[in-house]
Amino acid sequence: MPAQTISNVPLDIESTTDAHDPAIQKYFLKTRELEDQAQWKQIVAIESGITDLDLKDSSMAGINKAARKAENASAIKQVPIENFDQTYSQEEFQVMMPFTKKAWQFGIKKRDMERVTKELRMACIRRQEELVADRLNNGWSTTYTDSDDSGAETITITGGDGAAMFSASHTREDGGTNWTNIITDTDSTSNPIFDYSPLKGARITASAILSPVGEKFRVNYDTLVCKKDSTVHSRAEEILASKGIPGSADNDGRANVMFKIIALDYLDNDTYWYMTDTSMKNYDYGLQVKISEEINMKGPDIVFESDEIRYKSGFQWALGGNDYRGWAGSDASETA
């Protein structure tokens, strides 16, 4: 079919039609299983379908204990207090892949559609893994600098109480004594290097965490989070496999300190380690993701002057946390 002309500029209808090959959309959907296998989803509570740019998280704390009621007396009143507020603001992330007309017609379209769509989705998944891991990488700070191809940005990562994710200065909602989720060893060493004794110390840390109104909170750290193939990862596997006290010739059996291991690729530090109560991975505690736009692909966009063909992939979400009672961490700095 001869090329048509609009305002004396040739329009190649065939190349434009070819760019809209529905197979690329089919392949992109096929790669969704990669997203489902993302590591970060093991440690973050996910809420989808968000329609607000800024979502405010606020709730009421519980009350303490029932009181004795004398005959014909009124029940004791306990007024719930408001928990700390946290605002989740949506951020958009995108990546674009451009192709020349010839590369598309004679290369991509013939052989590599599935690879191209896989890379578009994986580029978004890798960014998500990094963003979540950086909350743990920088968990002892209130801010960190995030750098990508768009430049550098300061990210505030405090919880609703204004403290870092891991802090000895978490304020309590009722104004009571501050609480800490920095792991402390059995000898009162804070931020201990990971081993058998500090692992038992994490239980002590958990038992000292109180509710917003000062009641026992029953935190149970059942999962170790660490960098994949790190010294912590290896030592944890040795502890789990040991029948006696790890590193000892004694015949004493080790304490029944059982835990699951989640080893993440995007954690930076070989010696940092974290404990989490997986029963508290919900909309009230721990890391939260509020998703307004799932990973998607848009395109093609065809540049009129050059016939360049461009596809892009992206997502929109808000990442943060309000109450970190379900987490504890050690940066292995070992301070008294």
| 313 vs 282: CA distance, rounded Å | 28
Average pLDDT over residues 261-266: 97
Please report the pLDDT score of residue 1 as a whole number: 44
Is the CA virtual torsion 236, 241, 242, 247 positive or negative? negative
For residue 288, tell me if it sits in a domain: yes
Structural domain count, the chain: 1
For residue 144, tell me if it sits in a domain: yes
Which percentage of the chain shows pLDDT scores above 90? Answer: 58
In this structure, are residues 325 and 135 in contact, taking their beta carbons and an 8 Å threshold?
A: no
Model confidence at 82, pLDDT cuts 50, 70, 90, reads confident
Please report the pLDDT score of residue 248 as a whole number: 67
pLDDT digits (tens, 9 = 90+) for 266-294: 999 999 999 999 999 999 999 999 999 99
Average pLDDT over residues 248-260: 69
For residue 230, tell me if it sits in a domain: yes
User: What's the count of helices (H) and strands (E) in the chain, helices before strands?
Assistant: 7, 14
Domain encompassing residue 216: 15-55+86-159+167-330
Look at residues 48, 22, 24 and name the one whose alpha carbon lies nearest to residue 315.
48
pLDDT digits (tens, 9 = 90+) for 147-205: 988 899 999 999 999 999 999 999 999 899 999 999 999 888 999 999 999 998 999 99
For residue 35, tell me if it sits in a domain: yes
Average pLDDT over residues 226-241: 95
For residue 304, tell me if it sits in a domain: yes
Please report the pLDDT score of residue 323 as a whole number: 96
| 279 vs 217: CA distance, rounded Å | 13
| CATH code for the domain of 262 | 3.90.1690
pTM of the model: 0.85
For residue 276, tell me if it sits in a domain: yes
Model confidence at 128, pLDDT cuts 50, 70, 90, reads very high
Using alpha carbons only, how large is the chain's radius of gyration in Å? 26
The DSSP letter of residue 254 is: P
pLDDT digits (tens, 9 = 90+) for 31-64: 888 888 899 999 999 999 999 999 988 766 666 6
| 75 Cα distance to chain centroid | 44
Model confidence at 5: pLDDT above 80: no
For residue 9, tell me if it sits in a domain: no
Please report the pLDDT score of residue 103 as a whole number: 85
Please report the pLDDT score of residue 67 as a whole number: 62
For residue 325, tell me if it sits in a domain: yes
| 53 vs 124: CA distance, rounded Å | 20
What is the rounded average pLDDT for all residues in the chain?
87
In this structure, are residues 211 and 284 in contact, taking their beta carbons and an 8 Å threshold?
A: no
Model confidence at 143: pLDDT above 90: yes
